[in-house]
Amino acid sequence: MKARRKIEKTFTFFVLLAVGIIYLVPILMMLLGSFKDAGEVLQFNLALPTIWHPENYLYVLETGNILRGYANSLIVTVSAVIVTLLSGAFAGIVIARNSGRSSNALYYYFIFGLTATMQTVTTFALLKVIRLYGSYFGVIMVFVASNLPFTVMSFTSFVKGVPRELDEAASMDGCSPMGIMLKIHLPILKPIMVTNLIIVAISVWNNLMIPLYFFNSSKKMTIPLTIYNFFGMYSRNWHYVFAAMTLTVLPVIILYLCLQKHIVAGMTAGAVKG
Amino acid sequence: MKKRWLTKACSVALVATMLTGMTACGTTESDGSSPKESSAEASKAEPVEITAMITQSRYYNGLQNMIKKLEEEENISIDVQVVPDEQYEELMKMKLNSGESADIIDYNIPTIYDIVDPEKFFADLSDEAWVDNLLNPNTVLYKGKVYGFPFQSLQGLHGFIYNKAIFEDLGLTVPMTWDEFLDVCETIKNEGDGIVPLHFPKDTWVPQIIITDNMTKALGLEGNAEYGEKLRTNQAKWTDNESFAQVIDYYIDLFNKGYVNEDYLSATYDNSIEAVGTGKAAMHFNGDFFAASVLEAYPDVQLGMFNVPMPTAAEDIISANTASVGFVAYKDSEKLDTVKKVFELWSTPEYADLYFADRAGFPAFKGVNGGDTPDYLTEMKDKYLDTGKYTKAFDAMLGVGVTAVQNYSWVYYLDAPGKGMTGSEVLEKFQSDYESYMKENNQPGF
Amino acid sequence: MKRLIHRKKAGLFYPIWFAGPAIVIYGIFYLIPIFFAFVMSFTDWNMNRFMEPVFNGFENFQKLFNDEVFVRSIGNTFLFAVTTTIGKIVLGLALALLLVKPVKGNNIFRTIFYMPCVLSTVVVGILFNAILGRDGLLNEFTAVLGIKPIDWLGSYSTAMLWIILMEIWMWGGFCMFIFISGLQSIPQEYYECAEIEGASKTAKFFKITLPLLMPSFTVVMTLNITGGLKVFDMVYILTNGGPGFDTQVLNTYTYRSFSMGFLGQSCASAVILSVIIVLVTFTVNNFLKKREVEM
Q: Is B19 a member of any domain?
A: no
- Residues of A with Cβ-Cβ distance to B21 under 8 angstroms: 67, 70-71, 74
| B231 lies in the same domain as B164 | yes
The chain A residue lying nearest B91, using CA atoms, is A213
Who among B86, B404, B415 is closest to C244 (CB)?
B415
| B129 lies in the same domain as B275 | no
CA-CA-CA-CA torsion sign (C217, C220, C222, C225): negative
Instruction: Flag if B82 and A125 touch (Cβ within 8 Å).
Output: no
- Residues of B with Cβ-Cβ distance to C259 under 8 angstroms: 86, 89-90
Mean pLDDT of A84-104: 88
Top-level class of domain C23-289: mainly alpha
Q: Do A105 and A116 form a contact (C-beta atoms < 8 A)? A: no
List, for residues C52-108, the tens digit of each pLDDT value.
Answer: 899 999 999 999 999 999 999 999 999 999 999 999 999 999 999 988 887 778 888
Indicate whether A271 pLDDT > 90. no
Q: Which amino acid is at C189?
A: E
Q: Is A240 a member of any domain?
A: no
Average pLDDT, chain A: 84
Collapse the DSSP code of B40 into the 3-class scheme (helix H, G, I; strand E, B; otherwise coil) and give the result. coil
Q: How far from the centroid of its chain's Cα atoms is residue B430's Cα?
A: 24
Residues of chain A above pLDDT 70, percent: 92
Mean pLDDT of B143-162: 92
Closest CA to B167 of B307, B309, B303, B310: B303
Q: Do B162 and B304 form a contact (C-beta atoms < 8 A)? A: yes
pLDDT score for C293 = 61
C177 has a chain A CB within 8 A of its CB: yes
pLDDT score for A10 = 85
The chain C residue lying nearest A102, using CA atoms, is C16
Q: Is B83 a member of any domain?
A: yes
Neighbours of B61 (CB within 10 A): 12
Residue B30, class by beta-carbon neighbours within 10 Å (0-12 exposed, 13-18 middle, 19+ buried)? exposed
Who among A118, A241, A272 is closest to C182 (CB)?
A272
Average pLDDT, chain B: 86
Residue B402 is part of a domain; what is its CATH number?
A: 3.40.190.10
Collapse the DSSP code of B362 into the 3-class scheme (helix H, G, I; strand E, B; otherwise coil) and give the result. strand
Q: Is A89 a member of any domain?
A: yes
State the ipTM, two decimals: 0.86
pLDDT-derived band at B231 (thresholds 50, 70, 90) equals very high
CA distance B240 to B225: 16
Residues of chain C above pLDDT 70, percent: 94
Q: Is B26 a member of any domain?
A: no
Instruction: Flag if B25 and A251 touch (Cβ within 8 Å).
Output: no
Number of structural domains found in chain B: 2
| B236 lies in the same domain as B330 | no
Instruction: Flag if C261 and B403 touch (Cβ within 8 Å).
Output: yes
CA distance A134 to B99: 13
Number of structural domains found in chain A: 1
pLDDT score for B433 = 93
Residues of chain C above pLDDT 90, percent: 38
Neighbours of C290 (CB within 10 A): 8
Indicate whether B4 pLDDT > 70. no
Please tell me which residue, B44 or B311, carries the higher pLDDT value: B311
List, for residues C272-282, the tens digit of each pLDDT value.
Answer: 999 999 899 88
Q: How many helices (H) and strands (E) does chain C have?
A: 16, 0
Element (H, E) at B371: none
Cβ-proximal residues to B97 (8 Å cutoff; 6+ apart), any chain: C47, C50, C51
CA-CA-CA-CA torsion sign (B35, B37, B40, B43): positive
Q: Is A161 a member of any domain?
A: yes
Beta carbon pairs, A and C, within 8 Å: 256
> Angle CA(A233)–CA(A139)–CA(C231) in degrees, nearest 5?
60
List, for residues A202-256, the tens digit of each pLDDT value.
Answer: 889 988 889 988 888 878 888 887 777 676 545 567 888 889 889 888 888 888 8
Provide the residue range defining the domain that includes B427: 157-320+378-440
Instruction: Flag if B14 and A231 touch (Cβ within 8 Å).
Output: no
Indicate whether B33 pLDDT > 60. no
Q: Is B281 a member of any domain?
A: yes
Q: Which amino acid is at A55?
A: E
Residue A143 is part of a domain; what is its CATH number?
A: 1.10.3720.10
Who among B51, B57, B80 is closest to A233 (CB)?
B57
| B316 lies in the same domain as B330 | no
CA distance B440 to C223: 37
CA distance B328 to A216: 17
Q: Is B373 a member of any domain?
A: no
List, for residues A104-113, the tens digit of each pLDDT value.
Answer: 899 889 988 8
The torsion angles phi and psi of A89, rounded to 5 degrees, stand at -65, -45
DSSP string, B239-289: TT-HHHHHHHHHHHHHHHTT-B-TTTTT--HHHHHHHHHHTSEEEEEEETH
Tell me the C-alpha to C-alpha distance, in Å, between residue B328 and each of A212, B111, B361, B380: 21, 11, 21, 31
Indicate whether B18 pLDDT > 60. no
Convert C193-218 to b/e letters by CB count within 10 Å (16 or more is b). Answer: ebeeeeeeeeeeeeebbeebbebbbb
Please tell me which residue, B105 or A184, carries the higher pLDDT value: B105
Who among C49, C133, C262 is closest to B266 (CB)?
C133
Q: Is B95 a member of any domain?
A: yes
pLDDT score for A121 = 86
The chain A residue lying nearest B273, using CA atoms, is A235
A176 has a chain C CB within 8 A of its CB: no
- What does DSSP say about strands B156-163 and B281-287: parallel, antiparallel, or unpaired? antiparallel
Convert A112-127 to b/e letters by CB count within 10 Å (16 or more is b). Answer: bbbbbbbbbbbbbbbb
Binding partners of C (≥3 Cβ pairs within 8 A): A, B
| B300 lies in the same domain as B344 | no
Largest CA distance in chain C: 84
Who among A87, A94, A205 is closest to C16 (CB)?
A94
Tell me the C-alpha to C-alpha distance, in Å, between residue A39 and each of A27, A150, B289, C34: 20, 45, 20, 47
CA distance B412 to A274: 46
| B161 lies in the same domain as B151 | no
Q: How far from the centroid of its chain's Cα atoms is residue B176's Cα?
A: 28
pLDDT-derived band at A264 (thresholds 50, 70, 90) equals low
Q: How far from the centroid of its chain's Cα atoms is residue C120's Cα?
A: 16
Q: Is B7 a member of any domain?
A: no
Choose from A115, A155, A214 for mutation: most chain C CBs within 10 A. A115
CA distance C5 to A77: 46
Beta carbon pairs, A and B, within 8 Å: 97
Tell me the C-alpha to C-alpha distance, in Å, between residue B93 and each of A85, A208, B286, C287: 35, 19, 28, 46
List, for residues B55-110, the tens digit of each pLDDT value.
Answer: 887 888 889 999 999 999 999 999 888 888 778 888 898 888 888 899 999 999 88
Q: Is B372 a member of any domain?
A: no
Please tell me which residue, A136 or C47, carries the higher pLDDT value: A136
Who among A16, A121, A145 is closest to C25 (CB)?
A145
CA distance B207 to B285: 8
Q: Is A99 a member of any domain?
A: yes
Provide the residue range defining the domain that includes A146: 68-218+259-273
Q: How far is C1 from chain B (nearest CA, A)?
A: 50
Q: How far is C88 from chain B (nearest CA, A)?
A: 27
